[in-house]
Amino acid sequence: MAVTVRFAPSPTGFLHVGGVRTALFNWLFARHHSGRFLVRIENTDTSREVHAAAEQIVRSLAWLGLEPDEEPTFQLDRMAHHQETARALLETGDAYHDGGAIRLRTPSDGVIVWDDVVRGRVEVDNGTIEDLVILRSDGRPTYNFAAPLDDAASAITHVIRGEDHLSNTPKQLLVLQAIGGDRPIYAHLPNVHGPDGQKLSKRHGAVSVEEFRSAGYLADAVLNYLALLGWSLDEKTTVMSRSEIVRGFTLERVGSSPATFDHAKLRWLNGVHLRGQAQAAYGEALAAYLADIGFDGDAKLIRSSVPLVQEKLSTFAEYPDYCRFLFGPVEPDPAALVDAGPVLRGARDALRSVEPFAAPEIETALRAVADGLELKPRKALQPIRIALTGSKVSPGLFESIELLGRDESLARLAAAAA
């Protein structure tokens, strides 16, 4: 039987780290087995539904490249079927009315058992499970009734979800038993915690997928990082491409202890992925990101600046601070330029005649200036950098000058020397 999995979020807000991790593991499992990955929005609790949350979730998944193999479905769309099933259960006596609701009759003794792929064998006393409401008094199904029904209807083979659903599993198994549905295989993933050990939430900083996107992270890096939260390929591999993860992913290597989200490691990993990109793709992604956040800069210039920054940035968000000087005037701190007159004038004279106006030639010329003034390169170049970029930290000076152009460079040098 072909592997079919589903990611089933409730539309109560943005897709956050814990949610994506669950979605990712489902997607990886499906891809690894050439199976299908479905998305089902669990919207049976209409009172908690947040407007546009479903679209938001789907969009976040798309950004990460976790595209479902079918149009996402909404649980409530199958309400007629849920109600019909409840009625049938009523007729066989497996369910009964209670107030306005309908409850499933559950056994009071014995145990219900399943072999969880990540937890191992789990046994629950039937006595601890009370007759569960399957249809609310207003006719809407409850989650624990609708979910197993829908799983069965979609022929879900593996239910991969957060450990908060562990205690729902016996209930859903009981429902499945009552309707004679096939059992899927269950895998309950450990939670993702914040730095304080509490469940990850807003106050731990960026946790929604959208935030990572606007913070300049690469989807592949986020994916790589998330995959490592609870799963490992082997004893030493950290950096992996999407396809390497898909190839190596198995549920057997998913751990059962909760993980803490570490922004610093994500950041590092993002830098690694950024540096590994082809220059053209990097430029493409960078330009798209900058347009997204409203950075006003010529796309062509952005592209040509890629070689200057690719080795330096760990997120795209750092780009403006590094390269703002390429796109507009600078205001060097005069205090940092005292006594710099001779160097700046020397640089100006040298740059006036450099041919061609390219980094290697510029470097030769400026080093000669430093030599002539008997200054160490470190000493001589820093004021020039400040005059041209307005900052003590910048991309490579010579490449920056080339990109800035002769006229602009001379003008900035003159202004600073004055």
Partner RNA sequence: GCCCCCAUAGUCUAGCGGCCUAGGACGCCGGCCUUUCAAGCCGGAGAUCACGGGUUCGAAUCCCGUUGGGGGUACCA
Which residues are catalytically annotated? 202
| DSSP conformational letter for 64 | T
How far apart (Å, rounded) are the C-alpha atoms in residues 102 and 88? 12
**Mask: binding to RNA, 325-354, rule CB under 7 A, as x and -?**
------------------------------
Q: Is 244 one of the binding residues for RNA (CB under 7 A)?
A: no
- Contacts (CB under 7 A) with RNA, residues 21-60: 42, 44-45, 48
Q: Is 110 one of the binding residues for RNA (CB under 7 A)?
A: no
Q: Is 361 one of the binding residues for RNA (CB under 7 A)?
A: no
Instruction: Give the burial string for 57-73 (b: 16+ CB within 10 Å, else e).
Output: bbebbebbebebeeebb
Task: Select from 4, 10, 60, 315 the one that contacts RNA (CB under 7 A).
Answer: 10
Task: Select from 26, 85, 106, 142 the one that contacts RNA (CB under 7 A).
Answer: 142
Would you say 373 and 380 are in contact if contact means Cβ atoms under 8 Å apart? yes
- Stretches 149-157, 213-221, 385-393, 410-418: which one binds RNA (CB under 7 A)? 385-393
Task: Select from 124, 178, 223, 306 the one that contacts RNA (CB under 7 A).
Answer: 124
How far apart (Å, rounded) are the C-alpha atoms in residues 68 and 62? 9
- Cα distances from 55 to residues 11, 51, 72, 142, in angstroms, run 9, 9, 10, 23
- Contacts (CB under 7 A) with RNA, residues 162-201: 163-168, 190-191, 193, 197-199
How far apart (Å, rounded) are the C-alpha atoms in residues 67 and 58? 8
Would you say 332 and 387 are in contact if contact means Cβ atoms under 8 Å apart? yes
One-letter amino acid of 355: E
CB of 27 to RNA, least distance (A): 18
Please choose, from the candidates 263, 268, 200, 190, the residue with its C-alpha nearest in 3D space to the C-alpha of residue 230. Answer: 190
Q: Is 393 one of the binding residues for RNA (CB under 7 A)?
A: yes
**Mask: binding to RNA, 199-238, rule CB under 7 A, as x and -?**
x----------------------------xxx-x-xxx-x
Provide CB contacts within 8 A for 376, sequence distance 6+. Answer: 370
Q: Closer to RNA by CB, 30 or 189: give it.
A: 189
How far apart (Å, rounded) are the C-alpha atoms in residues 192 and 199? 7
Q: Closer to RNA by CB, 101 or 411: give it.
A: 101
Give the gyration radius of the chain's Cα atoms.
Answer: 30
- Contacts (CB under 7 A) with RNA, residues 287-326: 311-312, 314
Q: Is 271 one of the binding residues for RNA (CB under 7 A)?
A: yes
Please choose, from the candidates 271, 270, 317, the residue with its C-alpha nearest in 3D space to the C-alpha of residue 295. Answer: 317
Q: Is 16 one of the binding residues for RNA (CB under 7 A)?
A: no
End-to-end CA distance of the chain: 78
Q: Is 136 one of the binding residues for RNA (CB under 7 A)?
A: yes
**Mask: binding to RNA, 60-99, rule CB under 7 A, as x and -?**
---------------x----------------------xx
Q: Closer to RNA by CB, 101 or 176: give it.
A: 101
